Amino acid sequence: MASSKKYAILCLDGAGAPLTGLTPSWTAYWNLFDNSSDGSPPTITEVGGGIYVFDAALIADGARAGVIDCGATAAVVLVAGQSGGSARYAIWQGRYEDRNAAADVWGYATRELTGLDVGADVWGYGTRTLTALDGTPAADVWAATTRALTSSGDDAVATAVWAAVARTLTDFSDVWTAASRTLTASGVTAIWAAASRTLTAQSLSGLGAESVSVQFTDGSSGVQGALVLAINGSSELVAAQLTDGGGSVSLLLDAGAYTLLATRPGYQWAETAVTVSSPDTISTSTIAGSALTAGQFAQVGVTRSVSCSAKTRGARIENISQGDVLTLTRTVTGVPDGTTISSAVVRFGSFAEKRTDLSVAATVTDSGADGTGVITFALTAAYTRGFQPGQPTDYQLRVVLASGTEVLVEDGVIVVDPEID
């Protein structure tokens, strides 16, 4: 805000007579707020009888001060309201005064907010109150007399959301019921049931864009009641369903690579890597497992998915016996671009003792040019008889890439049961 005030000076000669026709000037003009020189001093004008005036427009950043030179003929210079000077010079000081803040909201050079036609309707500086804004819309929003919010414009919406008198939320479509103060159904009946006020089941078939179906069999017929889990490339569970009477599940998955796991007592299925693509296509639509005989336990860790970029640590291979013939199968993901799998080896022994008792080279059935490869290891009956029954044996599985890099993709223990004659 700006504060403007006129100041007068009287210039006298040595005999005390008023001096006319002078041209007083500023020899210095300072901003006392930051002690800097102000290059825009006010103009001094003669009004007659030895009196000269200037209009100082001050702003709220502090006071101004200056030295006025009335010329060599002046003997005494008097500043109205302040002490006089001797000889030709006088010192003047002026400070900002807030005389009418409401009338002059913002003052900076010519950048001023002045009176607005509806300004008085919005703010009365005399009473310091908000008053009605001219027009129906504003009156609906703010009542100056009661200082209360009222309904605004579209009553069909405003009244439904906010009642001005009761100050309460009222009905709004089918989400909120004012009478019972309850949330009701809102097109999401699978999640929220309005009548019972309970959360209900949401489909676990997935949330992807592609609809695919996979059947799980015992080698010939579909198996009902198997729990099928779909794991994405980030090791996240994205779908879980039970197989129907035909052994099938319908899943909603986005395009990409997944691992399918299935389990049901009395049956076993290997982990299976699949690829989903558009439209509604899955690379493997039937996954064959096997039924277990009475007392037989599903083998663990014989088939597994591993990655070149994230090692599988602390794995287990178990529920096998001495004399079993095994084929270890590993689906290897994360094969780097521009290279492939050239070979692989699994070593058994005590790595704490730096001892290797058995090494088995892999057969590379898919070198992974597309980023996913498959390797298998054949363990003969003679190999499995070489393990101490019931004694965990360390193993490490390493992949050698065509670039020459050897990658440890899995380590853990193998536990073999005694051979039964």
- C-alpha to C-alpha distance for 318 and 412, rounded to whole angstroms: 11
Residue 58 lies in a domain: yes
Q: Which residues of 2-29 are buried (b: 16+ CB within 10 A; e: fewer)?
A: ebeeebebbbbeeeeeebeebebebeeb
- C-alpha to C-alpha distance for 201 and 60, rounded to whole angstroms: 66
Which of 296, 328, 349 is where one domain is finished? Answer: 296
Residue 180 lies in a domain: no
pLDDT exceeds 50 at position 127 = yes
Check if the beta carbon of residue 46 is closer than 8 Å to that of residue 22.
Answer: yes
pLDDT exceeds 50 at position 186 = no
Residue 162 lies in a domain: no
- C-alpha to C-alpha distance for 130 and 124, rounded to whole angstroms: 7
Domain count, the chain: 3
Q: What is the pLDDT of residue 120?
A: 46
Average pLDDT, the chain: 79
Q: Are residues 305 and 397 in the same domain?
A: yes
> Could you read off the pLDDT of 383-420 as tens digits, one per residue?
999 999 999 999 999 999 999 999 999 999 999 998 86
163: alpha, beta or left, given left = phi > 0 and alpha = psi -120 to 50?
beta
Q: Are residues 351 and 391 in the same domain?
A: yes
Helix/strand/coil for 298? coil
> Could you read off the pLDDT of 73-117 as tens digits, one per residue?
887 788 876 655 667 888 888 776 554 444 444 545 555 555 444
Q: What is the pLDDT of residue 197?
A: 57
Q: Are residues 278 and 369 in the same domain?
A: no
Domain of residue 56 covers 2-94
Residue 373 lies in a domain: yes
Q: What is the pLDDT of residue 185?
A: 47
Whether pTM > 0.85 for this model: the answer is no
Q: Are residues 352 and 255 in the same domain?
A: no
Residue 268 lies in a domain: yes
Q: Are residues 229 and 345 in the same domain?
A: no
pLDDT exceeds 50 at position 153 = no
Q: Are residues 311 and 414 in the same domain?
A: yes
Region of poorest pLDDT, from 88-97, 172-181, 362-371: 172-181
β 45-48/51-59 pair status: antiparallel
Residue type, 271: E
Residue 20 lies in a domain: yes
Q: Are residues 303 and 322 in the same domain?
A: yes
Q: Are residues 365 and 331 in the same domain?
A: yes
- C-alpha to C-alpha distance for 109 and 106, rounded to whole angstroms: 10
Q: Are residues 319 and 412 in the same domain?
A: yes
pLDDT exceeds 50 at position 119 = no
Residue 84 lies in a domain: yes
> Could you read off the pLDDT of 321-365 as tens digits, one per residue?
898 899 999 999 999 999 999 999 999 998 888 888 899 999 999
CATH code: domain of residue 243: 2.60.40.10
Residue 67 lies in a domain: yes
> Could you read off the pLDDT of 253-279 as tens digits, one per residue?
999 999 999 988 788 898 899 999 999
In terms of average pLDDT, the best of 32-36, 164-168, 172-176, 219-223 is: 219-223
175: alpha, beta or left, given left = phi > 0 and alpha = psi -120 to 50?
alpha
DSSP letter string over 370-407?
TS-EEEEEEE-HHHHHTSPTT--EEEEEEEEETTS-EE
353 or 121, which is more confident: 353
Q: What is the pLDDT of residue 216?
A: 96
Q: What percent of the chain has pLDDT over 90?
A: 43
Q: What is the pLDDT of residue 415?
A: 94
297 or 247, which is more confident: 247
> Could you read off the pLDDT of 267-316 as tens digits, one per residue?
889 889 999 999 999 999 999 998 886 556 778 899 999 999 999 999 99
Helix (H) or strand (E) holding 156: helix 155-161
Q: What is the pLDDT of residue 190?
A: 43
